[in-house]
Amino acid sequence: MREKDMKILGETIQLTNDYLEISNLKFLKDNPRVYACTHGEPNFDDLTDEEQQDKIFQKLLQEPSVKNLKPEVKRHDGLMEPILVRHDTQEVIEGNSRLAVYRQLQQEKAEGEWGLIPCDIVSSLTDEQQAAFLNQIHVKGKTSWSAYEKANFAFVRFHREISIKKIAETFGETELEIKKRVEIISKMQENGDNDISHFAYYDVLVRNRQISVSITDNIELRDFLLKNIKELSPDDSEVEFTSQDLRDKLPTIISKPKVLKKYINGTVTLDEGYQDAKISGAHERVKQAHQRLSDITEKELKQLDNNALNSLEQDVRKLNRTVQRINDMIGKIKDG
């Protein structure tokens, strides 16, 4: 057994290094990667601790991180880095994916010794120390959490009645950033949406100022967007709109109330509304003129008497001069 130490929030924490039985260790339910796997599971909180641990194990086995790690662990006949375990709770603070790989290899009776796993062991940690350590490893360190996992980490702590200011200090982030992360997950939960693939859409709703203000002031727009986002299917080969589409196109639609109304009513799609909204006043007038003139037929002209036909001819000449003037201006602008 070797001893070493690490520093968390300026305090030196003593560690020992040893091999522990994997059957005695627990997945950390509040680890954001673990939490992301389970929070959408129906009645997860009603399960016994043993049932929750098994559910976490089964969910982790489906994660790409675990699938990719397994062949590497087998190839090296073990871990390159030990996992971090709290002795007082037997929870794996860091290394839940590695523990899942060991358990799977043991179940498969794979060649090698998988009943014992190398661990760095800390006698105990405060909640603040544990959060700060995970933040250092996964938010600022080499093994990065996704934006969704970072947001969940802040959200869980906020709902344990830890202040935004305290969370920000622990994470080394601004209070504004922590507030945004909490708000994003809150919006997902309020909308009953547990689909991780939708996170980026809610991120846009919160972080884009023009959209955020608009959905606060316009309940119809808010309800319309939340309904459409929740109904998006990641399995569709062609998603109706991406989060980037929402970020780039919706503000343009919002700036044109008439187009926005058509979008909310479902008369136009996001892309169609964007195309309509970005048309300038001059462009819109030319389009309307074209639409009003495009259906004139020869049969209709033959019904006119000579005076009416001559008058029309004069007006068409004026129209041609107007069109030529516009073309000249366009050409001049393009030529610089």
**Residue whose structure tokens are 């980026």:** 200
**Residue 237: what are its φ and ψ, rounded to 5°?**
-70, -30
Q: Are residues 222 and 125 in the same domain?
A: no
User: What is the C-alpha radius of gyration for the chain, rounded to an integer number of angstroms?
Assistant: 31
Q: In the predicted model, is pLDDT for residue 149 greater than 60? A: yes
The confidence score (pLDDT) of residue 261 equals 95
Q: In the predicted model, is pLDDT for residue 334 greater than 80? A: yes
235 in any annotated domain = yes
The confidence score (pLDDT) of residue 8 equals 79
168 in any annotated domain = no
Q: In the predicted model, is pLDDT for residue 280 greater than 80? A: no
Q: In the predicted model, is pLDDT for residue 160 greater than 90? A: no
Mean pLDDT, residues 190-203: 93
What proportion of the chain, given as a percentage, has pLDDT over 90? Answer: 51
The confidence score (pLDDT) of residue 179 equals 96
Q: In the predicted model, is pLDDT for residue 154 greater than 60? A: yes
Rounded CA separation 81/25 (Å): 17
151 in any annotated domain = no
203 in any annotated domain = yes
The confidence score (pLDDT) of residue 157 equals 86
The confidence score (pLDDT) of residue 181 equals 96
Is the CB of residue 113 less than 8 Å from the CB of residue 73? Answer: no
108 in any annotated domain = yes
Rounded CA separation 121/88 (Å): 10
What proportion of the chain, given as a percentage, has pLDDT over 70? Answer: 94
Q: In the predicted model, is pLDDT for residue 3 greater than 80? A: no
The confidence score (pLDDT) of residue 246 equals 96
Residue ending a domain, among 123, 145, 167, is 145
The confidence score (pLDDT) of residue 116 equals 93
49 in any annotated domain = yes
**Residue 161: what are its φ and ψ, rounded to 5°?**
65, 35
Q: Are residues 120 and 67 in the same domain?
A: yes
Q: Which residues contact 73 (CB under 8 A, 6 or more apart)?
A: 79, 98, 101, 102, 105
Q: Are residues 96 and 26 in the same domain?
A: yes
Rounded CA separation 1/9 (Å): 26
Q: Are residues 200 and 75 in the same domain?
A: no
Residue ending a domain, among 234, 250, 278, is 278
| pLDDT, tens digit, 9 for 90 and up, residues 118-128 | 999 998 888 88
- Share the mean pLDDT of the chain: 88
Q: Are residues 273 and 297 in the same domain?
A: no
Predicted confidence band of residue 77 (pLDDT cuts 50, 70, 90): confident
* Residue range(s) defining the domain that contains residue 321: 282-334
The confidence score (pLDDT) of residue 220 equals 97
Q: Are residues 264 and 309 in the same domain?
A: no
Predicted confidence band of residue 27 (pLDDT cuts 50, 70, 90): very high
Q: Are residues 245 and 326 in the same domain?
A: no
Predicted confidence band of residue 219 (pLDDT cuts 50, 70, 90): very high
The confidence score (pLDDT) of residue 281 equals 67
Q: Are residues 326 and 262 in the same domain?
A: no
Q: Are residues 127 and 255 in the same domain?
A: no
pTM of full prediction above 0.75: no
Q: Are residues 246 and 292 in the same domain?
A: no
Rounded CA separation 301/318 (Å): 18
Reading the block at residue 317, the tokens are 């000449």
Predicted confidence band of residue 10 (pLDDT cuts 50, 70, 90): confident
**Residue whose structure tokens are 């972080």:** 207
For CA atoms 323, 326, 327, 328, the dihedral sign is positive
Instruction: Please give the tally of structural domains in the chain.
Output: 3
Predicted confidence band of residue 143 (pLDDT cuts 50, 70, 90): low
Reading the block at residue 222, the tokens are 């808010």
Is the CB of residue 69 less than 8 Å from the CB of residue 101? Answer: yes
Mean pLDDT, residues 19-34: 90
109 in any annotated domain = yes
The confidence score (pLDDT) of residue 198 equals 94
Q: Are residues 33 and 51 in the same domain?
A: yes
Rounded CA separation 290/233 (Å): 39
Q: In the predicted model, is pLDDT for residue 237 greater than 60? A: no
Mean pLDDT, residues 231-247: 80
**Secondary structure letter of residue 80 according to DSSP:** S
68 in any annotated domain = yes
**Secondary structure letter of residue 48 according to DSSP:** -
Rounded CA separation 83/89 (Å): 14
Q: In the predicted model, is pLDDT for residue 137 greater than 90? A: no
Closest CA to 203 of 181, 222, 223, 175: 181
Range with the lowest mean pLDDT among 36-45, 51-60, 249-258? 36-45
Q: Are residues 10 and 141 in the same domain?
A: yes
Enumerate the β-bridge partners of residue 15.
4, 122
